[in-house]
Chain A
């Protein structure tokens, strides 16, 4: 936490206040303690205060809970990642203390529940400021002593409110809103626990902190949500009214939201017997006239690939959401990885071109979902929205979208036509247009949709010529899309020593790494690629401006030393400068990791050129 100013004033026993531009708080406990709720409150408070916020959480993949953390980074400036090192660690248990102390920066504060954390290594006492609070027993005392410590999360929130001099009114309103609608006693109890935490005398703490006001002036209020919520609501805004899925972490909450929300709009979301049924059902509904959605995570995407190939062949609009997790197989279900890139771009038998878009932030998830729907409709193609566990679960604040202007009505048109060939080879734009069943055709010739190679009306053919023409048709429409896509923009100067390439959630930490390099005088820039397949134009020109190119991604380095996206870029641009910076530890990038790996990469390249 970078201190900005310190006031010597100690008002009414309050420790003196230090103004800071940002704070990184890590809360460590067990998943059933409601630590996500504390993080959520802090994130929403930041959103209401026009501050930037980003969170990071880990959840155990076990059913009955287990160690879990929630990290919140709140800043008055731009926040691009959840932060490398925490300013404060709130540790509920001995294991939380033991496992997360190293995530704290030297001299940082560890606030621990002295009812549970009792063992300390002497050297750590010198490195970090230790502040003891009997959180469990004080919570029990505050809420009437039922012997249960449920509510200690809200007590801890009170403590943090005191330490960070947070806006008490806004925070209490958030707590009251959160528990509204339930038994009024629950809300009362929560406020009691909060007040107890807030008024607890932190005698060990020398000063408290106040976050600076945000410099950014945004016209619209901010909304606070996680990436999966943003995708679900983006799909609703885009006009999607039917979807089908099967539960799998970390995709499930999208289907839960859509199941709950779509009926309000006259639509429905179906939970199916399996992954294959869910994509099949969504494709059926798309054929019914209105682009539908299915989704999953790695293992489920594998199961969907045959039907996805049908959608490529029949050229059916469809949105497939893939919330990537650690793979292969069941892998690391609650950890982040970007290793579904290959299956998203190439998964399936035969040549089956499809569109792949990877959102970079929570806000981007909302707009990318709308874009995915519109590309699917405009190009009559399946579109894979490739998000990941990191964006799915992290909370960000972003300017509220102008829903009145954004929400789309994509009601299908069933009005009669004179004649229609969906796979018209002479179509001016080269793009397939389907007629939904129920549409009358004056000529009496009705189209069929199929996975067999087909003629212009969809009837099967074994003609070598038609297979060539139709394969080209399916390929060329995506080439056309590639030409229409916005060109990527370089972050930093357009020429320099090193270019970092990011896709998906790596954008934030990569940009922070660029800032770090630039502050040290190194000529490092970055480019973020959102449209993975087809690639936009303009990358070759950007690559020319740099000596080294590193693709930063959460995949394995592979047999030949390149991550999955780096391999795609090398195949596309035949540029030997393109190298990979990869890792698969299941965690998001730390800025320091990227900086160190870039330095090592340059050293290795220089050594190789000298040898």
Chain B
């Protein structure tokens, strides 16, 4: 081996500023809950009136209400207007590449079971470039929450057709109106095997918070389609679900059986404006639990052995 040998274990962490006290490990109960000021970071770069503001405000509210501490908040996003999210939250966050937020978040979730990862993104990130990952993260039932702020248009790149743009929607890439059948995110999620599928809209803050809380409490892959209006490129997109604009915010009927996959699928038939609330919910072992079971099983067979001794057993068989 070479001069590149470095001491085993953790590396020294720099920039512990002199004068600042290193926080003592305190019991969570002894720490004060966070205020909105403490949890907000950069000022959002969204256009005035953007629906994403309310989703961010409600994420803050969720953190406050759940008395979460800074270090436990883990926010991950891909690329798009809504994916700027992690910069606005004063907590550990990652702004990854376009469409790949879910596999990144899966890497965090599987290697750090102590954290609940919240992933934010838009419809292009989720259903176009990241479509494959949406399907597989759902089917594997990775324990994390995915909030898709769906505005039915590409905003960051300024007005191109998105996978959820309705037929006839006029954009810079479909000046004559969109011809491709849009994706139905709810049906997509149910078919892929998501175990928690909900719909909400930025225009109804209480409902958004309610859905986020339910998603956080779900043991598995929880998906929320949150309609979030792009005032710049698709104003009025969701007026039909906004009572203030003459629309109707129709809740999922009280008698709907959320565990009935076919009923859920049927309920998602028409999303213009469609029903709001938890549409489907199932209980299935999570990826995290399945992997932990494999680990437990394997570790029980090598109990009491140091890692080098486990490896030694392999090497002994190669002599």
**Interface, chain A (partner B; CB < 8 A):** 44, 47-48, 177, 221-225, 229, 233, 236-237, 239, 241-242, 244, 261, 263-268, 270, 272-274, 276-278, 280-290, 292, 306-307, 310, 367, 370-371, 374-375, 377-378, 400-401, 403-404, 406-413, 415-421, 424, 427-429, 433, 435-452, 459-460, 484-486
Contact = CB atoms under 8 A, between A and B. Distances in A.
Given A307-B97, A441-B70, A277 B23 contact: no
B227 to A, nearest CB: 27
A297 to B, nearest CB: 20
B319 to A, nearest CB: 6
Contacts of B310: 264-265
Interface in B272-319: 291, 294-295, 297-299, 301-302, 306-308, 310-312, 314-315, 317-319
B22 A460 contact: no
B133 A449 contact: no
B10 A411 contact: yes
Interface of B: 1-6, 8-17, 20-25, 38, 41-42, 69-72, 74, 76, 86-87, 90-97, 100, 102-108, 110-112, 114-115, 132-133, 135-136, 291, 294-295, 297-299, 301-302, 306-308, 310-312, 314-315, 317-319
B22 A442 contact: yes
B95 A451 contact: yes
B110 A270 contact: yes
Contact of B8 (A267, A408, A447, A486): A408
Contact of A451 (B74, B97, B105, B314): B97
Contacts of B306: 407
A439 B9 CA distance: 17
A442 B20 contact: yes
B13 A446 contact: no
A452 B95 contact: yes
Contacts of A233: 311, 314-315
A407 B318 contact: no
Contact of A264 (B1, B94, B104, B298): B298
B11 to A, nearest CB: 6
A224 B319 contact: yes
Nearest to B287: A270
B4 A374 contact: yes
A222 B315 CA distance: 10
Contacts of A276: 100, 103
Given A403-B308, A448-B95, A459-B87, 4 more contacts: A233-B315, A371-B1, A437-B115, A448-B87
A424 B17 CA distance: 11
A485 B4 contact: yes
Given A403-B315, A438-B115, A441-B71, A433 B14 contact: yes
A578 B206 CA distance: 71
Contact of B311 (A287, A403, A421, A438): A403
Contacts of B311: 233, 236-237, 403, 407
B298 A263 contact: yes
Contacts of A400: 315, 319
Contacts of B70: 440-441, 444, 446
A412 B42 CA distance: 28
A542 to B, nearest CB: 18
A501 B294 CA distance: 47
A407 B17 contact: no
Nearest to A452: B95
B107 A285 contact: yes
Contact of B110 (A225, A237, A268, A442): A268
Nearest to A48: B319
14 contacts: A264-B310, A277-B106, A278-B103, A284-B105, A288-B107, A374-B5, A403-B315, A410-B8, A411-B9, A418-B17, A428-B14, A438-B114, A443-B20, A460-B87
Contact of B107 (A273, A282, A421): A282
A412 B10 contact: yes
B319 A410 contact: no
Contacts of A48: 319
A506 B9 CA distance: 35
B22 A418 contact: yes
Q: Which of A244, A264, A310 has the most CB of B within 10 A?
A: A264
B319 A284 contact: no
A417 B100 contact: no
B107 A284 contact: yes
Given A265-B310, A421-B15, A225 B106 contact: no
A36 B50 CA distance: 64
A218 to B, nearest CB: 13
Contacts of B102: 277
Contacts of B20: 418-419, 442-443
A236 B2 CA distance: 19
A418 B16 contact: yes
A459 B88 CA distance: 10
B15 A284 contact: no
A462 B32 CA distance: 36
B2 A306 contact: no
Given A272-B103, A288-B108, A378-B6, A444 B90 contact: yes
A289 B72 CA distance: 14
Contacts of B14: 420, 424, 427-429, 433
A285 B111 contact: yes
B6 A284 contact: no
A338 B82 CA distance: 42
Given A378-B6, A413-B13, A289 B112 contact: yes
Contacts of B22: 416-418, 442
A44 B317 CA distance: 10
B112 A288 contact: yes
B318 A225 contact: yes
B1 A285 contact: no
A266 B6 contact: no
A39 to B, nearest CB: 15
Nearest to B291: A268
Given A223-B319, A265-B307, A288-B111, A435 B92 contact: yes
A427 B15 contact: yes
Contacts of B314: 233, 261
A52 to B, nearest CB: 15
A484 B4 CA distance: 7
Nearest to B38: A444
A401 B76 CA distance: 40
A222 B318 CA distance: 9
A-B pairs with lowest CB-CB distance, top 10:
A284-B107, A437-B92, A418-B20, A263-B298, A407-B308, A280-B103, A413-B10, A277-B103, A281-B107, A285-B107
Contacts of A375: 4
Given A223-B318, A451-B96, A273 B106 contact: no
